[in-house]
Structure formats: structure tokens, C-alpha cells
Amino acid sequence: MNRYQEPLTEGTTLCVYNHDELIFSDAGRWLHPLFSFEKFLISYTGPKDCLSAHDTAAGKAAALLMSRFGIKRAHINLISETAIAHYQAHGIEVSWEERIPLLACKTESLLLEMEDEDQMYRELKRRAKLVQGVTVEVQNLLFSYPGQNPLIQEISFSLPEGGRLIIQGDNGRGKTTLLNLLMGKLKASEGSILIDGKDPSQLPPRTIGYIKQQQTQQQFPVSAREVVSMAVDPKKEKTEQMWEVDTALRRTGVAHLSSRNFFTLSGGERQKVSLARSLCQKARLLLLDEPTSFLDAKSRNTLLEVLHSLTLEEMPTIIIVTHDKDLEADLSWPILHLEEHHG
């Protein structure tokens, strides 16, 4: 018997070993120990070439998380057939003490109807309340500037915490105006907007991150790194602030531009620096206005990669307004079309 297959100590629900060395244990319930292990891995610097787990129970959800976290061997006290199938499909060596067709829990039944593993992972994080995002409720929205015909008419949509939406429409359809309404910079003529159950004007600072079109010709002596660092929580330790800035710059592919004047960068480069700034802000609602307008193919791919990682890791709620129809295929997010009668 390998060490990871030995009985769990009383009260422990999950143990993870690398070979025979215990590196993590937890006494939580449901999937929380596995999500705690995921968080542990972020700062863990030891060897992890043969991660082996012993869990009290595993359905498809636990098997999915273990495969994502790099577990190579698993021993389960109570296991479902769906979990066994997932372990075997992902090349994980699995043993067990008791085997049943299906765990009696809603999560197990929910995953039976899903095939996309990213979608399943997002749903598990949402059920574990590990989502950074906020709810957005827009009902019967109407807006017009004084003396003009309505620019926005009868728009309604709803997003859950961590939801994603592309708002598609040609120029002049009111896309940027809609973002200003969401940020509380404009007041709706009719209808309502609730973000996290509140009027936008009542939201705490730093809730909304806004990445606008990079068209400004202003010039200030400020570096790209300084622009990003302005968004870091000043209450954090200096070393943690520096780590967050460095991580955001690397993640968006602009670390090599950190010392350059922000306003001498190209539009696409400024766009990526602004995205790094929003990462440091830890915005719960991220609004992007025509984010691909000034991007070359390489920068566009970087943007798509960052957006994809955001939807799986921090999971803020994200709204993109664009007339770039290729984004529909690139992201496969829900789409709201602003038709001509909205303009």
C-alpha cells in the first residue's frame, strides 16, 4: 500500500502527497478542500511531479478538479461511476474502497448535463462562492440626451456573478453611452440598472474597471508601470504591491514596456497596459469599450488569452461593447445585439 492510500486521520477529509511526502491536508467539506489545495498550489514551491490524493468521497466534480490541479494518483473512500470514468479518461490512477453509481448531491447531477470542462469548472467555482464578479440587472433601459430622440431604448439583460456578455452594434448605436450608464456617469431616462443589487452611484470604489478606447493624444511623464501601480490597493504591503504589478504586466504581455512613457505607446500597447491596471484593481465588473480596435494579431491573441484566464480564475463579471463581429467566434460568449431601433 502506498502512503496516500493509508486511512485518513480522524477529521481529515483530504490529504495530498508528492510521492510519499504529505504536502497538504484539509478537514473541510464538499469541494472546499480541493479549492483550498488549488490556492495552496499558487505559493507552493516544492516538488509536485507525482501528486497523489486521498479523499473521503469523489464524484465527477472532485475528479474534474483533481485532473485540473495535476493529481496523478487518487484513492477515494466513496466513489461514483462518473468519477471513475473521468479519472480514467484523464490518465489518473485511481483506487477506492466503495463504489456507487452516483453520489446523491445536486452537483453530481448538474455536471451530468455538461460536457465542456471549462464550463463545469466555472459552475463549481460559482457554487463554491469563489467568484469575484457581481450581478448586473438592466431592466427596460431608455436614455436620450436633452432635445434628442432616444439613443437607447428598451434594453434589458441580466448577468450572474462572473457572467460574460458581448454587446454588439455598429457605431452610433449607443454602446459607449450604455457603458457610461453602467458606470453611473449618466442617468437613465427610464428603466433601472442594479449592480450587485445597488445603483451604480452607490457602489464602493474599485468595483468597476473600465478600459476605454485608446485614442488620447495627451502627454504626461508617467510610465506604464506607474499607470498599473495606481490601481493597486495602497493598504497592501509594498512587496505584495510590487508582486501584483509585476504579475499583471507579465500576464498582459507588456512587462518589457514597464519603464516606457505610457502616452508614447501605441494604442494597442496602451490597451494592454490598461488591462493590466484593471487586473491590479481587482475590479468586480470589467467594462471594455472596443478592446480590439488598435490591436495587431499578436496583441489580439494576448487579449483573448487574458480574457479566457480571467473567466476561469478571478471570474469578474465582464461586458464588452464592440462592432468587431469576429469576437463572437473568438470568445463564444452570449451576445446582445443593439439593433437600429436603439440608435
The total number of residues written for the chain in this structure: 343
Q: What is the bridge-based pairing of β-strands 14-18 and 21-26?
A: antiparallel
Q: Is 116 exposed, middle or buried (0-12, 13-18, 19+ CB in 10 A)?
A: exposed
pLDDT along the chain (343 residues), means of 10: 92 95 95 96 91 96 96 97 95 96 87 88 92 95 83 90 90 83 91 95 91 66 90 88 90 89 83 87 92 82 87 92 86 83 41
Residues 158 and 79 in one domain: no
pLDDT at 342: 41
**Which run of H or E residues covers position 60?**
helix 60-68
Q: Which residue has the cell 434628442?
A: 148
Residues 156 and 218 in one domain: yes
With respect to residue 124, please indicate whether it lies within any of the assigned structural domains: no
With respect to residue 148, please indicate whether it lies within any of the assigned structural domains: yes
Give the CATH number for residue 88: 3.40.140.30
With respect to residue 276, please indicate whether it lies within any of the assigned structural domains: yes
Rg from Cα positions in the chain: 23
**Nearest CA-CA partner of 123 in 170, 52, 172, 60:** 60
Residues 200 and 316 in one domain: yes
With a CB cutoff of 8 Å and minimum separation 6, the contacts of 312 are 118, 121, 122
CB 4 within 8 A of CB 17: yes
**Domain of residue 276, residue span:** 136-342
CA atoms in the 13 A half-sphere facing the CB of 137: 8
With respect to residue 128, please indicate whether it lies within any of the assigned structural domains: no
With a CB cutoff of 8 Å and minimum separation 6, the contacts of 319 are 136, 159, 164, 165, 167, 179, 182, 285, 286, 287, 288
With respect to residue 122, please indicate whether it lies within any of the assigned structural domains: no
Cα angle: 61, vertex 90, 33; to 5 degrees: 35
Residues 15 and 94 in one domain: yes
Average confidence score pLDDT of the chain? 89
45 DSSP assignment: -
With respect to residue 321, please indicate whether it lies within any of the assigned structural domains: yes
Give the CATH number for residue 294: 3.40.50.300
The CA distance from 201 to 206, in Å, is: 12
pLDDT in tens, 93-148: 999 999 999 898 888 888 888 889 999 999 999 999 999 999 999 999 998 888 77
pLDDT at 47: 92
pLDDT at 134: 96
Residues 150 and 52 in one domain: no
pTM: 0.83
pLDDT at 21: 95
